[in-house]
């Protein structure tokens, strides 16, 4: 069987992304040794650093990093270069290459919708609102169909710059009341859930498309006006299908990928927040701070085992062995899951190795993988209290253990948070991500 491979989507924020459901559903249906999670980052540079450190095979990029990430790549596909945005990267022998599959997502979605409603190809008038990565990809897709495209943006200089590069028209938001009466297709490609359109400008002749697949005020308004609506999830699905092709040099099972859009609903599992990761990654420190901020109980599986067994962890390892300790972990996590209350759970570094433990966490908890390099974690911990690292060369042992465990952390996790440097921004990052999905 192939070596286990890691994939993720990165952005700021990113916990809302449905991409893990799509890819993991394909992996599970084909029994492929891979996992797809979310990578939280404050900058594209931070995302690339973790991408390299954890040796990811591929990464999808969402707002606001689609343009910011380009200078950090070794190669860029010509279409992505023309669009001026990258939403998919792959690595081959250490060389990272960027692609744009957003345009494919838009183009396929529009073609499918036109077929569905019985419209033919034509020289459509199109307005794309937003001049960042997604907007430019949408404009490129429409122009490849021969459409007459106008990019509209709040900052008109940004719209002008994108239009010059793509050879289309541009305008400021104030021109929308003039443009929309003669427009056939309207695409809203703004990161935030902002609606710059007045309902009086819409009619049943409009075909509308919003890149935002969460709640959309624009789409709600368009429905009341009888507009023909393209589901935003279609954009996500079809760009994901094309990203999969770049990852694996073949297309996925489209049905499995579409079915995955409805899985892994993190909001339903956010009452219990489980922190997984290697020893020294900050699970106890971060967990206690999170519990204080959110005013909910904090529990530590290692502490509960020590309390129950009336022995320290080194004593358990020495007297009863690692197998017995892992048995204790399974029993403790089951007890925690069975407790019907909100909790922050710090999971022992090896807890996620067990299949049943991972399944319990994934079913009942929002799972956060706290990641720091082995070099950082070894400096933080008391080696005498860590039997597995109390060896002649703890750093090499830590690297080997993390190499073995990272696939299990990835399989369990909903999101990766970088804890290389401890400061207040870590807990704020987690808190902000969680709040955005509620």
Backbone phi, psi, residue 188, to 5°: -100, 115
Q: Is the four-CA dihedral 262, 267, 269, 273 of positive or negative sign? A: positive
Distance CA 22, CA 15 (A): 14
Q: Is the four-CA dihedral 354, 357, 361, 364 of positive or negative sign? A: positive
- Residue 76 in 3-state DSSP? strand
Backbone phi, psi, residue 190, to 5°: -110, 135
- Tell me the CB-side half-sphere exposure of residue 205, using CA atoms within 13 A: 9
Name the CA radius of gyration of the chain, rounded.
24
Among the listed residues 18, 57, 66, 362, the single catalytic one is: 66
Tell which residue, 20, 90, 103, has the closest CA to residue 48.
90
Burial 129-168 (b: 16+ CB within 10 A, else e): bbbbbbbbbbbbbbbebebbbbbbbeebebbbbbbeebeb
Q: Is 379 a catalytic residue?
A: no
Contact of 378 with 399, CB cutoff 8 Å: no
Residues with Cβ within 8 Å of 342's Cβ and at least 6 positions away in sequence, in order, are: 271, 272, 294, 296, 297
Contact of 68 with 54, CB cutoff 8 Å: no
Q: Kindly tell me the burial class for residue 371, based on how many C-beta atoms sit within 10 Å of its own C-beta (0-12, 13-18, 19 or more).
A: buried
Enzyme catalytic residues: 66
């Amino acid at each position: 069987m192939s070596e286990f491979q890691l994939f993720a989507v990165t952005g700021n924020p990113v916990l809302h992304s449905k991409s893990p459901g799509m890819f993991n559903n394909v992996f599970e249906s084909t029994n492929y040794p891979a996992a797809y999670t979310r990578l939280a980052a404050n900058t594209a540079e931070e995302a690339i650093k973790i991408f390299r450190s954890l040796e990811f095979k591929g990464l999808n990029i969402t707002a606001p990093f689609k343009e910011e990430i380009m200078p950090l790549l070794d190669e860029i596909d010509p279409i992505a270069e023309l669009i001026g945005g990258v939403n998919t990267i792959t690595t081959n022998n250490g060389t990272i290459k960027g692609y744009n599959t957003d345009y494919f997502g838009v183009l396929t979605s529009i073609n499918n919708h036109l077929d569905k409603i019985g419209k033919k190809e034509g020289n459509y008038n199109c307005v794309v609102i937003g001049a960042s990565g997604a907007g430019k990809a949408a404009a490129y897709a429409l122009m490849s169909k021969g459409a007459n495209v106008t990019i509209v943006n709040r900052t008109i200089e940004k719209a002008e710059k994108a239009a010059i590069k793509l050879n289309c028209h541009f305008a400021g938001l104030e021109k929308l009341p003039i443009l929309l009466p003669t427009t056939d297709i309207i695409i809203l490609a703004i990161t935030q859930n902002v609606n710059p359109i007045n309902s009086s400008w819409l009619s049943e002749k409009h075909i509308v498309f919003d890149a935002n697949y969460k709640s959309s005020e624009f789409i709600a308004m368009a429905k009341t006006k009888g507009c023909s609506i393209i589901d935003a999830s279609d954009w996500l699905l079809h760009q994901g299908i094309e990203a999969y092709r770049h990852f694996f040099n073949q297309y996925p099972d489209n049905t499995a990928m579409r079915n995955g859009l409805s899985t892994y609903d993190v909001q339903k599992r956010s009452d219990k927040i489980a922190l997984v990761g290697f020893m020294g990654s900050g699970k106890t420190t971060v967990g206690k701070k999170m519990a204080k901020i959110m005013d909910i109980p904090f529990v530590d599986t290692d502490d509960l085992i020590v309390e129950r067994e009336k022995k320290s962890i080194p004593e358990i390892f020495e007297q009863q062995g690692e197998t017995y300790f892992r048995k204790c972990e399974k029993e403790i996590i089951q007890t925690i899951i069975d407790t019907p209350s909100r909790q922050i759970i710090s999971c022992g570094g090896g807890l996620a190795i067990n299949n049943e433990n991972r399944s319990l966490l994934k079913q009942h908890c929002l799972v956060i993988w706290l990641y720091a390099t082995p070099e950082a974690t070894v400096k933080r911990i008391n080696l005498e209290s860590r039997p597995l690292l109390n060896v002649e060369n703890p750093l090499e042992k830590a690297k080997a253990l993390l190499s073995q465990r990272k696939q299990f952390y990835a399989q369990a996790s909903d999101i990766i948070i970088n804890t290389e440097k401890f400061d207040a921004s870590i807990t704020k990052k987690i808190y902000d991500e969680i709040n955005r999905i509620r």
